[in-house]
Amino acid sequence: MAYVLQRFNPWAGDVSLAHAGPELRASSVLPFGMPFLVERDTRHIPIPALSYQLSICDVPTRKHRDASTFPVNTALASGRALKSLHEQLQLERMTEAEIDDEFLADWVGDMVATVSDQTGRPLQRSTITNRIHFAMAFMQHANRKGLIDVHVDRDSALRLAWGVDHLYKPDGTRMHGVNASTLRRDMIRPILLSEWRRIAPALGPTPKEQAMGRDQRSCRPRVASEIALRDGLRACEVAEGLQVDAIMGITVTDPDADYELMLTRTKGRAGRKAHLRGHSILNSQGYARGERAACIAAAKARGLGDWVEPTELLVNGLGSGRNVGRTVQPTTLERDFGQSQLSIGMTVEGTRRVGDGRLVTVRRPLHSFHDLRHTAALWQLHEAIRRGDPDPVAMVQVILGHRRRSSAEVYLQPDRSIVQQVGDLMRRLIKGLADA
């Protein structure tokens, strides 16, 4: 089975797209000639994709204000991107609601390794980049419409996009002559101990430092990032999966031990079991008793009619206006982590296209929030190998909640020297020495 991209024409068989006049086009219920996806065998139309295409085609072109016209090239390009995305979903036997960072990485890897049906040549890098951007816009639109509830790592997805054109080593130097396997390997960017020592203070204080009055900045970015780094949680799991009652209900007797709890939100599924270190639990409890309690009190004092105290652990801070005390979004955690690196100059050079079509050079954070999860995975792998575990990849797969073993296998690829350095970082972090 496969998808085909069709053009909307209610008079097909009588009038072709090219010969339809302005009056006929204007009388069409949907934008005449709008590209939309159809499953070839079942004739099923994916509703989220149709809704996104309508959002593009309902906007008249700037040149022609006639409501029967629309940006055809943009609609066709987005349609081809959605076709590729849905064929990958079909291959993986997944739905739009199950899209996650692992799926996107597989999709990009397949595009890099395949050839165009029209030319028989590898897809141009600009084509892959544009498809990824359209996919991100599609997911954002479908989320807003309530058709799906997917929160991919925005920074990681953007890195996939510009990484197709330019790959960088962890030291920031550009790589040349890369292939598909190198592309996948160098997207796994573990955070080294020297890097974390610079990032951690920029994220803000720990709850203990905040309570002692050493630093009155928000401790939420530090708490969220250390949970992802210690325990390998995704941004959406940290933001929306950790429940404050579950956290406060745990009695920590050993900060170095693991404690099991249920995440109520994860990629494409209702939840999963996770294991958090005692240090992560204690920091979360400190945040809940201090900064979170202050944010909840501020929200109650505002008396907003639509405000209900969230069950999630992390909430918006005191500087967020009418959004204070509401559940924090995964993109906020990603933004906080990126801005902490920008503030200390931990960046790499990239490019982006501006409104007039020019490519401009920009500085991007060296690491995405998802790299914290990569680092935790490498540490877990390193520890399993050190212990002589007969199947270390299976252990990583269970801890990180991967559906497919192949998703965990990518962590086998970095240099062993990098794995060793990540292991050093995690041992120090778990013992609380990296807070210094």
CB 291 within 8 A of CB 317: yes
CB 310 within 8 A of CB 323: no
CB 67 within 8 A of CB 26: yes
Find where tokens 């890099």 sit: 112
Residue 307 and residue 248 share a domain: yes
Domain-embedded: residue 250: yes
Domain-embedded: residue 417: no
Per-residue confidence at 88, pLDDT binned at 50, 70, 90? confident
Distance CA 270, CA 266 (A): 6
Closest CA to 183 of 122, 118, 137, 119: 122
Residue 3 phi/psi, 5° resolution? -105, 150
Domain span including residue 93: 3-162
The pLDDT of residue 214: 86
Domain-embedded: residue 426: no
Q: Which of 365, 383, 411 is the last residue of a domain?
A: 365
Looking up residue 293, the CATH number of its domain turns out to be 1.10.443
pLDDT at 375 over 80: yes
Average pLDDT over residues 388-397: 81
Domain-embedded: residue 422: no
Find where tokens 């996104």 sit: 52
The pLDDT of residue 248: 96
Q: Residue-wise over 148-171: b if at least 16 C-beta within 10 A, else e?
A: bebbbbbbbbbbbbbbbeebbebe
Residue 221 and residue 129 share a domain: no
Residue 348 phi/psi, 5° resolution? -130, 160
Domain-embedded: residue 381: no
The pLDDT of residue 180: 35
Per-residue confidence at 253, pLDDT binned at 50, 70, 90? very high
Q: Which of 33-37, 189-193, 292-296, 337-341 has the lowest mean pLDDT?
A: 189-193
User: Domain total for the chain?
Assistant: 2
* Percent above pLDDT 90 for the chain: 31
Q: Which of 302, 331, 365 is the last residue of a domain?
A: 365
CB 169 within 8 A of CB 415: no
Closest CA to 335 of 139, 155, 137: 155
- Model pTM score: 0.63
Residue 261 phi/psi, 5° resolution? -150, 165
pLDDT at 179 over 60: no
Closest CA to 162 of 360, 350, 362: 350
pLDDT at 166 over 50: no
Alpha helix (H) ranges present in 249-388? 278-287, 293-302, 330-343, 370-387
pLDDT at 433 over 60: no
The pLDDT of residue 160: 58
Residue 355 and residue 244 share a domain: yes
Domain-embedded: residue 43: yes
Tokens of 174: 């550009």
User: Please, is 288 exposed, middle or buried when counting C-beta atoms within 10 Å of its C-beta (0-12, 13-18, 19+)?
Assistant: buried
Q: Which of 365, 395, 414 is the last residue of a domain?
A: 365
Domain-embedded: residue 278: yes
Distance CA 216, CA 369 (A): 23
Query: Average pLDDT of the chain?
Result: 79
Q: Tell me how far CA of residue 409 lies from CA of 41, 393, 399, in angstroms.
A: 34, 6, 13
Residue 142 and residue 50 share a domain: yes
